[in-house]
Amino acid sequence: MKYRRPKRALNSAETVTLRMERMAQGGDALSHLEDGRVCFVSGALTGELAEVVLSQNKKDYAKGFAKKILEPSEFRTTPQCPFYGKCGGCSLEHATLEFQLESYRASVEELFRRFAKTELPAGWKIHSGSPYGYRNRARLVRVGKGFGFRETQSHRVIPVSSCKVLTSGINKAIAENVFPNVPELSVFDNGNGKISYYYKGMESAEFEKFAMNSVQIEDVSISMDSASFFQSNLEVLPELVKTVKKAAGTGEYLIDLFSGVGFFATVLQKNFKKIVTVERDANALFHANKNVPGAHNVSSPAEDWLAQNDASGADVLIVDPPRTGLPPSALEAIAKADPKKLLYVSCDPATLARDFRLLSENFGYKILNAEGFAFYPQTPHFEMFLELKRS
């Protein structure tokens, strides 16, 4: 398989032969140059010997791409996507799903060792589903008459006629090109035949017609729209719901922070008498009020709500922040509120490990259960769940 050289000016186009030691964060393999510097290599796998073209030659580290694999790994596979190596969406398509799952495991464990000085519970479970055709949400960028995705290491957009990780519904929407004049289009496939769309500046009548959607999870229909956040792997999502439900159990008072359309509160509402959801995106409030009508649904940054309200007395507090993790003031306020159970859902294991370190060192939190969810195969992204308790 050929990797195209990044378009940016190269510091050095030197070719070196390297043995890959392990996978690093972000889907590159890690190796060392003769002078001792770490070299991150795209397109290579643990154990492989490869001819590597250096694309960045920094003082402390180098980066390169595998031009030729001299000794391939038994876990190497042929990428299915014609844009692979060029489109910035995927970086692990040259590895089997089995290898990808083990890389996620190794990478999360390493992050917890490095950032949190903690071992995850032995044999922690990883849930996974289809390696392709899973992604039910996409933001498409206009290029020419069609759509595309951002190129690796650049802001340029390459035209993409179809994408292997997207659901067939979203690929059909790309082919149909329903809104030919919009520069960006958010598309959502509810897994049940309904595709919804959102573009900036959409008028409210159009929003009603094209953006509104709903997702069925177990026996609950969850109202959402294409402008708001919603999870993007509907095949594995029920596993996360089961895990969160089991950990949450039943109780009097549930707080769901970074709640989107009130997602976790919706599936847990039968089990709690008093519920508060807090979400920054004002657009999501309409849905939270519909999805969890008995709750106090708040449109606010979680850190502001925590600063202005007494969050103590919760049986369960769920946080599901964006990749940046918890703002420090929110983390401190949550620990002070001292919920009986703290459930942390994370789409970035690095910030999760960072936050867990603060929770454990400053407030005595321990991990009762950890589970992983391969929501984004072929990419280095990975979802984690931690059930935490104060000792």
Binding residues for ligand SAM, per CB under 6 A?
A: 229-231, 258-260, 263-264, 278-281, 301-303, 320-322, 347
Shortest distance, CB of residue 266 to ligand SAM, whole angstroms? Answer: 9
Phi, psi (deg, nearest 5) at residue 44: -125, 165
How far apart (Å, rounded) are the C-alpha atoms in residues 1 and 67?
8
Q: Which residues contact 103 (CB under 8 A, 6 or more apart)?
A: 23, 46, 92, 95
How far apart (Å, rounded) are the C-alpha atoms in residues 225 and 104?
31
Given the complex with ligand SAM, which of 76 and 245 has the nearer CB atom? Answer: 245
Shortest distance, CB of residue 259 to ligand SAM, whole angstroms? Answer: 5
Instruction: Tell me if 307 sits within 8 A of 332, measured CB to CB.
Output: no
- Residue burial 342-363, b: 16+ Cβ < 10 Å; e: rest: bbbbbbbbbbbbbbbbbbbeeb
Shortest distance, CB of residue 112 to ligand SAM, whole angstroms? Answer: 20
Shortest distance, CB of residue 322 to ligand SAM, whole angstroms? Answer: 5
Instruction: Tell me if 3 sits within 8 A of 42, measured CB to CB.
Output: yes
Given the complex with ligand SAM, which of 29 and 302 has the nearer CB atom? Answer: 302
Given the complex with ligand SAM, which of 93 and 303 has the nearer CB atom? Answer: 303
Given the complex with ligand SAM, which of 207 and 258 has the nearer CB atom? Answer: 258
Among the listed residues 263, 269, 267, 303, the one whose alpha carbon sits nearest the alpha carbon of residue 284: 263
Taking phi over 0 as left and psi of -120 to 50 as alpha, with beta for the rest, 378 belongs to left
Given the complex with ligand SAM, which of 82 and 328 has the nearer CB atom? Answer: 328
How far apart (Å, rounded) are the C-alpha atoms in residues 94 and 131?
12
Shortest distance, CB of residue 193 to ligand SAM, whole angstroms? Answer: 21
How far apart (Å, rounded) are the C-alpha atoms in residues 199 and 159?
19
Q: Which helix (H) or strand (E) holds 50?
A: strand 49-57
Given the complex with ligand SAM, which of 48 and 355 has the nearer CB atom? Answer: 355
Nearest residue relative to ligand SAM (C-beta): 260
Shortest distance, CB of residue 42 to ligand SAM, whole angstroms? Answer: 27
How far apart, in Å, are the Cα atoms of 216 and each of 223, 224, 254, 257? 9, 11, 22, 22
Shortest distance, CB of residue 148 to ligand SAM, whole angstroms? Answer: 25
Given the complex with ligand SAM, which of 165 and 285 has the nearer CB atom? Answer: 285
Shortest distance, CB of residue 241 to ligand SAM, whole angstroms? Answer: 9
Given the complex with ligand SAM, which of 117 and 296 has the nearer CB atom? Answer: 296
How far apart (Å, rounded) are the C-alpha atoms in residues 279 and 288?
9
Instruction: Tell me if 265 sits within 8 A of 298, measured CB to CB.
Output: no
Phi, psi (deg, nearest 5) at residue 21: -90, -45
